[in-house]
Amino acid sequence: MNPIETTRQVKALGLCSGGLDSILSALLLKDQGIDVTWISFETPFFDARAAKKASKQTGIPLIVKNIREAYMEMMKAPKAGFGKNMNPCMDCHTLMFAKAGAIMAQIGADFLFSGEVVGQRPKSQTKSALRYVEKNCGYDGLILRPLSAGILPETIAEQKGLVDRSRLESISGRSRKPQTALAKKYGITEYPSPAGGCLLTDKGYSQRLRDLLYVQKTEDKTQLNLLKHGRHFRLDSRSKLVVGKNKAENKRIMNLYDPQTHIRLRCTHLPGPDALVFGQTDEAALHLAATITSGYTKASAGALTTISIFQKQGTKEIEVVAPESGAFHNLLIQSP
């Protein structure tokens, strides 16, 4: 390291998920007297709740930005493809670093950083994946990974002497022992599990998202918000039914209900769920939706059941035969 004279404190802007690696990477830099700020991004698939908790816990300032539109555009065709599920991890990180880089310039930070660890994730945290992100985000050489810095090429910040490379870590692989030891050193006792909070890594959620984007071909905000709630049935290529699983989910579904846009179904004479139909429907699709909904009421299989249908143009009732349990399992889109 070749220290340089500076008349101001070195500043760094780091991506923060709220996990232990994010926390430790920031604390390693703070130990060197660097002024650290975090940034956390929100999309339909992950939020900043854990990052806000980490900020409160450590006192590190946090910037929160919603990048929904840019993220959904990236999701249409991620250059590096998807992971095991609908997770475009490499292009996700590329987008976040590109957005963070613009903020870095605004706040006068000298470099970017993250809690990424070489070899911790088989697709997104290999050396080649980290290199892909740097080359494509527009900030090549300006991204420091403090937990794995010792086994990665020197960044511009290290070359300029803004960071003491000898005081950074050389962690690699999936073992959490080095991070646990560092957490103990810094007195960090509360942090989320390393599994992360991104819904796109979940198989069931990814199946629902894939169905929404590629079958129904919509990015409707309400339907995106509902992907993690209720039972989802594909009625036909144009319409889908969402049926609440319990009282709490019925409430979540109804909180998103728009009587001007959505169709609501409910059995008025027996206990049962709230259900919503999305998309373009015809009488056949509505009858099918009512039949499926009746299967989750207290009606016995084979019994005539009256389902109320609430539409923009008015309310009507139709009689359907309550199905056997599991009768429409072939239409069910897997749950998260």
Whether residue 4 lies inside any domain: the answer is no
Do 273 and 149 lie in one domain? The reply is no
Q: What's the total number of domains in the chain?
A: 2
Q: Which residues contact 211 (CB under 8 A, 6 or more apart)?
A: 232, 234, 240, 333
Mean pLDDT per 10-residue segment, the chain (336 residues): 62 96 98 98 95 96 98 96 94 98 97 96 89 97 98 98 98 95 94 77 95 94 93 96 95 94 95 95 96 97 97 95 95 87
Do 63 and 163 lie in one domain? The reply is yes
DSSP 3-state of 220: coil
Do 155 and 210 lie in one domain? The reply is no
Do 206 and 160 lie in one domain? The reply is no
The residue among 148, 168, 198 that closes a domain is: 198
Structural domain harbouring 328: 202-333
The residue among 182, 198, 214 that closes a domain is: 198
Contacts 24+ apart (CB under 8 A), 181-187: 182/24, 182/27, 182/28, 183/20, 183/23, 183/24, 186/23, 186/24, 186/27
The residue among 143, 166, 198 that closes a domain is: 198
270 neighbors 305 (Cβ within 8 angstroms): yes
Whether residue 2 lies inside any domain: the answer is no
Whether residue 70 lies inside any domain: the answer is yes
DSSP 3-state of 99: helix
Whether residue 5 lies inside any domain: the answer is no
Whether residue 183 lies inside any domain: the answer is yes
Whether residue 1 lies inside any domain: the answer is no
Do 209 and 191 lie in one domain? The reply is no
Do 154 and 278 lie in one domain? The reply is no
> How confident is the model at residue 123, as a pLDDT?
76
- For residue 233, the Cα-to-chain-centroid distance in whole angstroms is 23
Whether residue 290 lies inside any domain: the answer is yes
> How confident is the model at residue 190, as a pLDDT?
85
Do 187 and 208 lie in one domain? The reply is no
Do 191 and 255 lie in one domain? The reply is no
Do 68 and 120 lie in one domain? The reply is yes
Do 90 and 108 lie in one domain? The reply is yes
The partner residues of 305 in beta bridges, in order of sequence, read 320
Do 50 and 70 lie in one domain? The reply is yes
Do 187 and 207 lie in one domain? The reply is no
> How confident is the model at residue 195, as a pLDDT?
56
